[in-house]
A = this chain, B = another copy of it.
Amino acid sequence: MAELSLNRARSIIRKALAKGREEGFKPLSVVVLDTGGHVKAFEREDGAAPGRFGIAQGKAYGAIMLGMAGRAQMARAEQQAYFMAAVNGVYGGQVVPVPGGVLVRDQRGNIMGAVGVTGDTSDNDVIAAVAGIEAVGLTPEE
């Protein structure tokens, strides 16, 4: 299983932030996690609220730990709220089950990490994450 290099993680973050500026989104925060859910790189734009690291990380962390992207987590939370609440307990309160936690897959479909974006609406957060991941030639799973 290949890990994302720091160079690629940086490019993902830059492109995600550039997409946000281009679309006129609010200030974004973007994290890249490795295949074990550990932080590889993070940036928070000027004007974003101070607590955004935790939200970005929580979106990406749940995606890695469950192997399930943010949209699927949200669907599960809407069907069975107590299940996602319990999962959150298991993972120490570090899971934010909404869109914006996006899995990064290579050409063979292997998970290489996850990107978490927060700052605008969840759907806009996804747009920024996807732009970043596609810019480095990898495949996003929203």
Q: Which residues of A contact B (CB under 8 A)?
A: 1-3, 5-6, 9-10, 34-46, 48-51, 53-55, 57-58, 64-68, 77-78, 80-98
Contacts and interface: CB of A to CB of B under 8 A. Distances in A.
A83 B68 CA distance: 17
Contact of A55 (B46, B55, B64, B90): B90
B87 A85 contact: no
Given A50-B64, A83-B96, A88-B93, 7 more contacts: A1-B1, A6-B43, A36-B50, A40-B44, A48-B67, A87-B96, A89-B95
Question: How many subunits of this chain does the assembly comprise?
Answer: 4
Shortest beta-carbon contacts, A-B, top 10: A36-B36, A89-B93, A51-B65, A49-B67, A38-B50, A39-B53, A54-B90, A77-B82, A42-B42, A86-B96
A66 B56 CA distance: 12
A81 B6 CA distance: 32
Given A1-B3, A44-B6, A49 B34 contact: no
A94 B39 CA distance: 16
21 contacts: A1-B3, A6-B43, A34-B50, A35-B36, A36-B36, A36-B50, A37-B51, A38-B53, A49-B67, A54-B90, A55-B66, A58-B87, A81-B81, A82-B84, A82-B85, A86-B88, A86-B93, A86-B97, A87-B96, A92-B93, A93-B93
